[in-house]
Copies of this chain bind each other. A is one copy, B any other.
Amino acid sequence: MFEARLLQGSILKKALEGIRELITSGNWECSSAGISMQGMDPSHVALTVLMLQNDLFDQFRCDRNVTLGLNHATFSKILKCAANDDIITLKAEDQPDECNLLFQSANDDKTSDFIIKLTDIDQETLGIPDTEYAATVKVPSVEFQRICRDLSQFGDTIIISVKKGCVEFSGTGEIGSAKIALKESGNVDDDEKVSVEMDKDTPCSLSFASRYLNYFTKATSLSDTVTLQLCPEHPLVVSYDIGDNGSLKYYLAPKIEED
């Protein structure tokens, strides 16, 4: 028996917005630790990892590990039937072929009960090696979304460069070129501000496919801040924290510059 109740049901709605266009269907692995889902996009370029720890839920019970193979288009359609302040409960039997979703309105006048058929998805879970990142940058998630969208007009590559106290995003194309710089703010406690941490103060500059960065920013509503972790020859990590008990992370390999 698996049952997990999320008071802030909107978290699940927002998380699915960040997933459904990249991963058509995925195995949602439920264990006593929480729920996790990972998957590659159809072109096997970007890895998406969602983690919802048991503490995120006000009620959480998972007697045995359960795998919920969910079609994300269907899951998203159903979640759109939930109001933003609905309480959402996920339920499944121990060896389920369907999953139950219950939405309760804040005033309890309306209850919606959905049954989704599950799919068998053949997928292995990848281990993600620990990396020492050369640079870790936090920027307001809305600002990152806007920059990725703006630079996509110039070309299909966005270069992210981290320098002391500053992160630069740039792009070049037929119509011209663009360089957008965000300066580190004085007060780094503020969520609305930019912070830049560098290992050994070495500047770091890497190129990424703007198409994927734009996909990642579909998760913008999950968090006020997005964290970018860069390391030469390693995938970029784009992380949206879900409070203190969850995260949605994207991994994207840098483009190799053609000489």
Contact = CB atoms under 8 A, between A and B. Distances in A.
Interface residues of A, number: 32
Interface stretch (A17-25, A181-189, A200-208, A241-249): A181-189
A81 B150 CA distance: 6
**Chain A's interface: helix, strand, loop or mixed, by majority?**
strand
Interface stretch (A32-40, A44-52, A114-122, A127-135): A114-122
A8 interface: no
A77, A116, A176: which has the most chain B beta carbons within 10 Å? A176
B176 A98 contact: yes
Interface string A109-150: 111111111000000000000000000000000010000001
A188 to B, nearest CB: 13
Nearest to A151: B81
A176 B153 CA distance: 40
Q: Which 8 A-B pairs have the closest CB atoms?
A: A81-B150, A116-B176, A74-B175, A112-B180, A113-B179, A115-B177, A115-B176, A114-B178
21 contacts: A74-B175, A77-B153, A77-B175, A78-B175, A78-B178, A80-B150, A81-B178, A81-B180, A98-B176, A108-B183, A109-B182, A109-B183, A109-B185, A110-B181, A111-B183, A112-B179, A112-B180, A113-B179, A113-B180, A114-B176, A115-B178
Interface of A: 71, 74, 77-78, 80-81, 98, 108-117, 143, 150, 153, 175-183, 185, 193-194
